Amino acid sequence: MLVRKARLQDASNVYDLVNSLSGDGTLLKRAFSEICENIRDFTLAESDGGVFLGCGALHLYGPHLAEVRSIVVKPEAKGQRAGGRILAGLIEEAEEHGIQSVCLFTRIPDFFFKYGFRTVEDKSELPDKVFKDCQNCPRLHRCDEVAMVRGRIPRISILGARHEAQELVKISG
């Protein structure tokens, strides 16, 4: 199995896989143009024969925080450790950038505990994530995702103040 940075030619595979899980709300629907614009954020796994197995993205907020996003593997790749290899690559990429804090929102926290992530009880502790995505999420008022972080929770925010994030979290329940 090869884990590598995605190229623009991989955008269709990423788009199809990410959106295959948007119907049930597992992942947010992404436009093809958005995938193309952000393709450099993605890392993917492929079989030794070059078959696309899965992907994940690392979104950089700044030197204080990065977020693992859209991590997903094809059903036929389950059990091949593709998800773990992608996640390890994204964590390594964050470390190469000198970022010690990596967050994510998930419905499967048990998978991420194995990689050093822990639960964040108060989502407003991650105001950059809340401001970037939560206020526009169709699940704003019924969020069922678990916030997690690897490393320390940042004490700064680039996108908004903590008290504004706390208000958004209060609104969302």
Indicate the Cα dihedral angle 105, 14, 16, 72, nearest 10°: -40
Report d(CA 95, CA 99) in Å as an integer. Answer: 5
Instruction: Please enumerate in sequence order all residues whose Cβ is within 8 A of that of 107, keeping only pairs 6 or more positions apart, or say none.
Output: 26, 144, 145, 146
Q: Mind listing the domains of the chain with CATH numbers?
A: 2-172 (3.40.630.30)
What is the tally of helices (H) and strands (E) in the chain?
6, 7
- On average, the pLDDT of the chain sits at 86
**Per-residue pLDDT tens for 7-50?**
999 999 999 999 998 777 677 788 999 999 999 999 999 999 99
- C-alpha 92/C-alpha 64 separation (Å) is 15
Q: Which amino acid is at 37?
A: E
DSSP 160: S
pLDDT at 169: 43
Which residue type does 16 have?
Answer: D
Q: What is each CA distance from 159 to 91, 130, 172, in whole angstroms? A: 22, 9, 19
pLDDT band at 138 (very low <50, low <70, confident <90, very high): low
The pLDDT-based confidence of 59 (bands split at 50, 70, 90) is: very high
CA distance linking residue 67 with residue 46, whole number of Å: 22
- How much is the average pLDDT of 146-160? 83
Q: d(Cα 153, Cα 167) in Å, to the nearest integer?
A: 19
- Count CB-CB contacts under 10 A for residue 28: 17
Task: Measure the CA–CA gap between 31 and 152, rounded to whole angstroms.
Answer: 32
pLDDT digits (tens, 9 = 90+) for 63-100: 999 999 999 999 998 889 999 999 999 999 999 999 98
Has residue 120 got a pLDDT over 60?
yes
